[in-house]
Chains A and B, each alone.
Chain A
Amino acid sequence: AQTVTQSQPEMSVQEAETVTLSCTYDTSESDYYLFWYKQPPSRQMILVIRQEAYKQQNATENRFSVNFQKAAKSFSLKISDSQLGDAAMYFCAYRRGGYGGATNKLIFGTGTLLAVQP
């Protein structure tokens, strides 16, 4: 079974600084996708960034980028120039690829609560 581990329950960063959130996963599959979701106090899950396992290039979305280390099964999220609005719970998630049956089932980590200090 696939598992996702986030070992940092809480993190704090100063406004305008950079922070990295860690995520490791375990799977025996070669085809999969990884996601970072943000959950602000409103509790709506918002997709931050995604990475296809077959792509070697790390995904980036504006101030958000990932460091995807497939062999180490590591998928960290870097937030640059942190803003007050980045304060939220961040979840790392795994989705199996299409081989073996299409699915949108996400397996989530336990989350990292990010505080942004002004």
Chain B
Amino acid sequence: KAGVTQTPRYLIKTRGQQVTLSCSPISGHRSVSWYQQTPGQGLQFLFEYFSETQRNKGNFPGRFSGRQFSNSRSEMNVSTLELGDSALYLCASSLEAAGNTIYFGEGSWLTVV
């Protein structure tokens, strides 16, 4: 059974550009969450989707957005990139709406130059 798959794994973008990160949850999982991990701020929750509906949103500016498709795959988009957006972006999936087992992908490393 495939795990949570995130693409791309590594990318470099220039300030002002936008980026789209993709996450394919484990087959059958309908819950997808996104986190940003940086040395300074640690792990911060971005947003959470369940059956294509955003249930929760973290304290991030509107430049950060996401969506979930009918096949549960999710994308997050960051527009007008800033240097401070450089981070590891982690996606997690769970079978249940409030799951006891939440699986993470290997993350997408974003560097903004």
Contacts and interface: CB of A to CB of B under 8 A. Distances in A.
Interface residues of A, number: 26
B106 A43 contact: yes
Contacts of A95: 98, 102
Interface string B84-113: 000010101010111111111111000000
B43 A108 contact: yes
Given A43-B106, A44-B107, A45-B104, A97 B98 contact: yes
B43 A91 contact: yes
Majority SS at the chain A contact face: loop
B42 A110 contact: yes
Nearest to A98: B98
B55 A45 contact: no
Interface in B27-85: 31, 33, 35, 37, 42-43, 45, 48, 50, 55-56
Given A45-B90, A103-B97, A104-B92, 18 more contacts: A33-B100, A42-B106, A43-B37, A43-B107, A44-B104, A47-B101, A50-B101, A97-B98, A98-B97, A102-B50, A102-B97, A104-B31, A104-B50, A104-B98, A105-B56, A106-B45, A108-B42, A111-B43
